[in-house]
Structure 1
Amino acid sequence: MRRTPPPTRRFDPGRRDRIIDVTLDVIAANGVAGTSHRRIAEAADVPLGSMTYHFKGMDELLTLAFTRLADRIADRFDARMGAATDAGEAREAVVRLITEDLIGSPREVVLTYELYTLAARNPALREVTRAWMARSRRALERHFDPATARYLDALIEGLAIHSALDPTPMSTEDVRAAISRIT
């Protein structure tokens, strides 16, 4: 009698990371409310069982995904602020951060607001946003005093919200003028 060999496991060392990245894609397309283990598994091309194998539940997966988003944006922020050699270049780096990096990526704008909405009620995600704000302020404090860094951080968030929702968002020159007034 011939035996059927047992199924072989698919070697997929990047599976966990891919699931985390794909979670952001699914949220961007469907919102957190429309995100499920099944949708993520399908989009990541992994068996549904991989979701419970790699993650304790949806809360853990959302926290990891939004932490990855915050870290990626903060990395770009750090790079822009780190490249500035004086206050003038730092102000211009903030302008580019707002007009190119934040406003220039509708996907990231949607993901950021999904994070903020969840963070209002979820302590783990609130901590993700707090860590992100602290990192942003540290990058700004390379060139500005702590109070000015805090004002700029709030301006950046506010301008990103307005640009996402206002049918006539502020021009680059208006953004530059607002930053100049604060600094």
Structure 2
Amino acid sequence: MATGHTDPQRRERILAATLDHIAAEGVAGVSHRKIAARAGVPLGSMTYHFTGIDDLLREAFTRFADHIVTVFDEHLGGVDDREQAREALTGLVHALSEGPRRDLVLTQELYTLAARRPEYRALTQAWMARSRHLLERHFDPGTARQLDALIEGLTLHRALDPEPHDRELTNEAIRRITTAA
């Protein structure tokens, strides 16, 4: 295997392996040895690229949050009016809930870590602020906050329900929040 100097993708592989490992076994199972093995890198690469497990987890979860914000932006980016925004939000909820189970698990692992450890709350708060900023392009800040929570809840319910609700119910919930003001 190439050394760190000739393997510019090593750091990226470590971060991807960390997220894969968390999705498969949870945050509690993360160790330098397990991640190095999963990434196919020497164990020494872990301490070369990251100061410790918390540094690794923060960077991996930051990368994951960036991915989810990109999904938000892909749905809301080309929207011109409120009706299109409502439809885009319905599509977003269904894309997130029908998407990779890995993303759902990673979201819940990050939330659990943030609930237990204040230093991870800043990461989730920044993620929520970025999501709400995208929503505020189309809705006032209070409505954007409600929609952000609705998206999280509907996504989780749809993903875990053996008979998930349809687009009509999602659209109705979004419409109720966005027309209540």
Aligned residue pairs: how many? Answer: 177
Does the 8 Å CA contact 1:103/1:109 hold for their aligned counterparts?
no
Match of 1:62 among 57, 61, 64: 57
1:43 maps onto 2:38 in alignment: yes
Match of 1:13 among 5, 8, 28: 8
Instruction: Return the alpha-carbon distance in structure 1 between the equivalents of residues 177 and 161 of structure 2.
Output: 22
Does the 8 Å CA contact 1:102/1:108 hold for their aligned counterparts?
no
Aligned residue number for residue 81 of structure 1? 76
The structure having more radius of gyration, on CA atoms, is 1
CA 1:13–1:169 in structure 2 vs 1: closer, same or farther (change >3 Å)?
Answer: same
Superposition map of 1:1-183 within 5 A: 9=3, 11-183=6-178
Query: What SS class does the counterpart of residue 42 from structure 2 fall into?
Result: coil
User: TM-score scaled to structure 1, two decimals?
Assistant: 0.91
The amino acid of 1:147's aligned partner reads: G
Q: Cα deviation per residue 1:118-148 (whole Å; 9 max; x = unaligned)?
A: 0012223111110010011110010111111
Give, in angstroms, the shift of residue 102 of structure 1: 4.1
Instruction: Return the alpha-carbon distance in structure 1 between the equivalents of residues 158 and 140 of structure 2.
Output: 26
Does the 8 Å CA contact 1:102/1:160 hold for their aligned counterparts?
yes
- Stretch of structure 1 that moved more, 9-18 or 35-44: 9-18
Q: Cα deviation per residue 1:10-57 (whole Å; 9 max; x = unaligned)?
A: 620111122111110111111112222111101111001111111111
Give, in angstroms, the shift of residue 75 of structure 1: 1.4
Instruction: Return the alpha-carbon distance in structure 1 between the equivalents of residues 78 and 142 of structure 2.
Output: 22
Query: What SS class does the counterpart of residue 83 from structure 1 fall into?
Result: coil
Query: What SS class does the counterpart of residue 75 from structure 2 fall into?
Result: helix
User: TM-score scaled to structure 2, two decimals?
Assistant: 0.92
Instruction: Return the alpha-carbon distance in structure 2 between the equivalents of residues 126 and 164 of structure 1.
Output: 24
Stretches of structure 1 that go unaligned for 5 or more consecutive residues are 1-7
Instruction: Return the alpha-carbon distance in structure 1 between the equivalents of residues 88 and 35 of structure 2.
Output: 35
Give, in angstroms, the shift of residue 161 of structure 1: 2.0
Give, in angstroms, the shift of residue 9 of structure 1: 3.5
Instruction: Return the alpha-carbon distance in structure 2 between the equivalents of residues 166 and 99 of structure 1.
Output: 13
Does the 8 Å CA contact 2:97/2:159 hold for their aligned counterparts?
no
